[in-house]
Structure 1
Amino acid sequence: MKVVATRESVAMGDDVLAPHEATWELPGQLGILGVLAALERDRYLPVVGLSTWVARSPDGAALAVLARRWRTPRLLPGTRDDVVGLMDADGIARLHFEYRAQDDPDAVYDDLCEAQSQPRR
């Protein structure tokens, strides 16, 4: 399975390489949590203190919160642990990571859960 990820920059000096696109060939058909674990093993997301990140789908929907304070990422309610919704027309899974600096990951998670429960306008 081919996965392409992009991420936001963590500092002005980091902007030079934005959007930090990287590609992985991962074995089998992993779920979102498996993909996130593989990217974590490869240290794709920079370690910046107790940083918090939001994994987003190609359409911008929040899928999971990742935090240095947590042992594992947390999928948002209603997010299925499969990559079908992340696939483009070529069968490539795409993810984008939003940098939330040192924000409290529990608060970020709660805010995203609340935003998802609000009716769309």
Structure 2
Amino acid sequence: MTTPSRLLITRDSVHAGDDSDAPHARWIDLQESETLEDALHLLLHNGYLPSIAGGCATWIVRGPQALAVVAQQWQEPRFLVNAQSTLVNLEELRFVYWCQVDPELVFDCLLTGAELPDKYSGFKTSK
């Protein structure tokens, strides 16, 4: 039998009107066997992340380090760590809003250790 644990989920605000509930904290109950992929699937399909007008939003999923990149325009997250990692020792998952910067560029920067692009400079493509 596995022991359930609680995981704190937080996210950045996406605009001034969204600040009233910041940091948008939620707790989810997990079994020891549940993975990062399981948790992201749950959160991405229950409406936790807001939709952005224009359909382009980039989020960096962080624990102690960057774990994945999520984009409103992608069907699935892109993992920077093993998606099957369990969350047993993780205390918090934080969704960091990287505005409308091209998620491919953000993912590539995180994967290679390059400096992230300025998130306030608008939508930039990696092409």
Same-fold status (TM-score > 0.5): yes
- AA aligned opposite 2:27: T
State the secondary structure of the residue aligned to 2:113: helix
* Structure 1 equivalent of residue 62 of structure 2: 56
Unpaired runs of 5+ residues, structure 2, are 115-127
Shift in alpha-carbon separation, 1:41–1:47, aligned structure 2, 3 A: same
5 Å-filtered alignment, 1:19-38, equals 19-26=23-30, 29-38=33-42
Distance 2:107 2:16 in 1: 26
Cα RMSD for the two superposed structures:
2.0
* Structure 2 equivalent of residue 65 of structure 1: 69
What is the TM-score of this pair, normalised by structure 1? 0.79
Distance 1:69 1:41 in 2: 14
- AA aligned opposite 1:16: S
Unpaired runs of 5+ residues, structure 1, are 88-93, 117-121
Q: Does 2:119 align with 1:113?
A: no
Distance 2:62 2:93 in 1: 6
Larger RCO, structure (CA 8 Å, separation 6 or more): 1
After the TM superposition, which segments of 4 or more aligned residues of structure 1 sit over 6 Å from their partners?
none
The one of 4, 10, 22 equivalent to 2:8 is 4
Distance 2:14 2:25 in 1: 14
Distance 2:67 2:89 in 1: 11
- AA aligned opposite 2:87: V
Distance 2:39 2:46 in 1: 11
- How big is the shift at 1:100? 0.9
Deviations 1:35-72 (A, max 9, x none): 00001121111111211111000x3x100001122111
Distance 1:105 1:41 in 2: 19
Distance 2:82 2:46 in 1: 27
Identity %: 37
Deviations 1:53-99 (A, max 9, x none): 11000x3x100001122111011156762213414xxxxxx200100
Figure out how many residues of one structure are paired with residues of the other and give that number: 108
What is the TM-score of this pair, normalised by structure 2? 0.75
- How big is the shift at 1:104? 0.6
- How big is the shift at 1:102? 1.2
